[in-house]
């Protein structure tokens, strides 16, 4: 049965999309069946994977409003060995349209139930807010949340509100909701600040921080403009090695055994 993880942090620019895309690409490389669900109206995950907007007939929006089963709009990229349920422009309106719906926070969770058997991993990429789209992402996170935190000034700012939201979801809708882990991103070993943030985040989440830390890497920032995950763009770069290590750490924690080593291309 597939695992579902949701990348969440209402702060923008902390590495949610970068982490979801690159984890997905390595999982695909390792031979696992992976689906990314782009829940952000800005559609960064969709564009990072070089998906031509003209071929997108529908996506997360149609699934959220119940107009269509998710299978109808999932696109498979054979080169990347991963699938994506893309975000399209209409998704921006979903936040408002869903307000009057019954069980509005659980729409995505119910809609993707049929996909759980078809994938080993489903990764949901949330927008930078705590609105109804993100709530749907949180409620759908069957196996937990992955919270990217940037190793920068004010890294913990806003996490209190996120924790409040998580507590509210637990008490009202989904008591088993867990945090799979906090992923430290954009670490700069040359600065004391990065090290201080790591220590601070580990104090805030004593049992929940992934051991792998993602360094700041120009290659990671460049890769999306070539429509490629880092494993295809610069597989030997520090960012690539870090996301590969993160993937292995996650798989190990999940008890998933990888039979074949990764092949470089
Ligand atoms: N480790 C990193 N090193 C350098 N740049 C990064 C790194 N991770 C992400 N970026 C860049 O930072 C910006 C924000 O990252 P993104 O993943 O889009 O954040 P979010 O989805 O949380 O808004 C993007 O331009 C991305 O390419
Ligand atoms: Mg994003």
Per-residue pLDDT at 212? 98
- For residue 263, the model assigns a pLDDT of 56
Å from CA of 113 to ligand 2 middle: 24
Strands (E), 29-93: 34-38, 75-77, 82-85
Domains and CATH numbers, the chain: 3-254 (3.40.50.300)
- Length of the chain (residues): 265
Q: What's the rounded Cα separation, in Å, for the pair 126 and 60?
A: 11
Residue indicated by tokens 């409003």: 65
Residue closest by Cα to atom 27 of ligand 1: 221
What's the confidence (pLDDT) of residue 260? 61
Please report the pLDDT score of residue 259 as a whole number: 62
In this prediction the pTM is 0.96
Output the residue whose Cα is nearest ligand 1's atom 9. Answer: 15
pLDDT reported for residue 89: 85
pLDDT of 264 reads 53
Residues of the chain with pLDDT under 70: 259-265
pLDDT, tens only, 43-81: 999 999 888 878 888 999 999 999 999 999 999 998 899
Contact 161, 29 (CB under 8 A): no
Residues within 6 Å of ligand 1 by CB: 12-18, 44, 128, 185-186, 214, 216-217, 220-221, 224, 239
- Choosing from 12, 13, 158 the residue with most ligand 1 atoms within 8 A of its CB, the one to mutate for a pocket test is 13
Q: What is the pLDDT at residue 216?
A: 97
- Ligand closest to Cα of 45 equals 2
């Amino acid at each position: 049965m597939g695992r579902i993880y949701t990348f969440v942090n209402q702060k923008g620019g902390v590495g949610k999309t970068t982490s979801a895309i690159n984890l997905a690409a390595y999982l695909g490389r390792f031979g696992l069946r992976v689906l990314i669900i782009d829940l952000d109206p800005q559609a960064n995950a969709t564009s990072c994977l070089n998906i031509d907007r003209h071929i997108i007939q529908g996506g997360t929006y149609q699934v959220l409003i119940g107009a269509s089963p998710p299978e109808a709009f999932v696109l498979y990229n054979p080169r990347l060995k991963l699938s994506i349920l893309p975000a399209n422009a209409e998704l921006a309106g979903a936040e408002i349209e869903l307000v009057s719906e019954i069980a509005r926070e659980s729409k995505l969770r119910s809609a993707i139930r049929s996909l759980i058997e078809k994938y080993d991993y489903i990764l949901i990429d949330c927008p930078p807010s705590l609105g109804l789209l993100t709530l749907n992402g949180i409620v759908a996170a069957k196996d937990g949340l992955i919270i990217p935190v940037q190793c920068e000034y004010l890294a913990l700012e806003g996490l209190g509100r996120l924790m409040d939201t998580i507590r509210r979801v637990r008490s009202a809708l989904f008591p088993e909701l867990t945090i799979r882990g906090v992923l430290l991103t954009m670490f700069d070993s040359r600065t004391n600040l990065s090290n201080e943030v790591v220590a601070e985040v580990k104090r805030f989440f004593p049992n929940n921080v992934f051991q792998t830390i993602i360094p700041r890497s120009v290659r990671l920032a460049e890769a999306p403009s070539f429509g490629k995950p880092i494993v295809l763009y610069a597989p030997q770069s520090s960012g690539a090695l870090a996301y590969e290590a993160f993937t292995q750490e996650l798989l190990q924690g999940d008890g998933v055994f990888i039979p074949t080593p990764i092949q470089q291309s």
